[in-house]
Amino acid sequence: YYVQPNQHLFVRATLYGTEPNLMLFTDTCVVSPDPHDVMTVASDLVRRECVRDPTCRNYYSPGKRIFQFKFSGPIYPRVCLQCKILACNTYNYSFQRYQGYRTRGKRSTS
């Protein structure tokens, strides 16, 4: 997308499928002005499941099959977003990332 500085961008990921016990969460999201280089000139929105950008806000989604958030566009004239979104079994308590997600999910979002 081409955006104005500090323009809000909204992102939504939806998990479609027949498995009822899957949930979504974001492992990593970065923005960059270059779609071919999201490492050199990039800003972290989410890194290892933790929000890194103060403009990034999650929205509540019932059922955990939808993950949605917004952020303010950086000063780049073009924004390229790359996210790693994981699906895990709701009842697989041995999954390390799931345990971290569940622990953080109980904390205050303010």
> Do 70 and 59 contact (CB within 8 A), yes or no?
yes
List pLDDT tens digits, range 7-22. Answer: 888 888 898 888 888 8
The count of structural domains within the chain is 1
Tell whether 72 is covered by a domain: yes
Check residue 96 and give its pLDDT.
46
Tell whether 39 is covered by a domain: yes
Domain that holds residue 43: 7-96
Residue 107 is encoded by which pair of tokens? 């904390």
Walk across the sheet containing 8-14 and list its strands: 8-14, 66-72, 57-59
Q: How far apart are CA 107 and CA 79, in angstroms?
A: 30
- Residues constituting the chain: 110
Kindly report the CATH number assigned to the domain that includes residue 35: 2.60.40.4100
Whether this prediction's pTM lies above 0.85 is answered by no
Mean pLDDT of 96-102: 47
Tell whether 107 is covered by a domain: no
15, 35, 65, 83, 89 from 86: Cα distances, Å: 10, 21, 11, 10, 10
Tell whether 49 is covered by a domain: yes
Check residue 107 and give its pLDDT.
43
> Do 49 and 25 contact (CB within 8 A), yes or no?
yes
Check residue 105 and give its pLDDT.
43
Tell whether 19 is covered by a domain: yes
Element (H, E) at 104: helix 96-105
List pLDDT tens digits, range 40-86. Answer: 777 888 888 788 888 888 887 776 788 888 888 777 777 788 888 88
Check residue 55 and give its pLDDT.
87
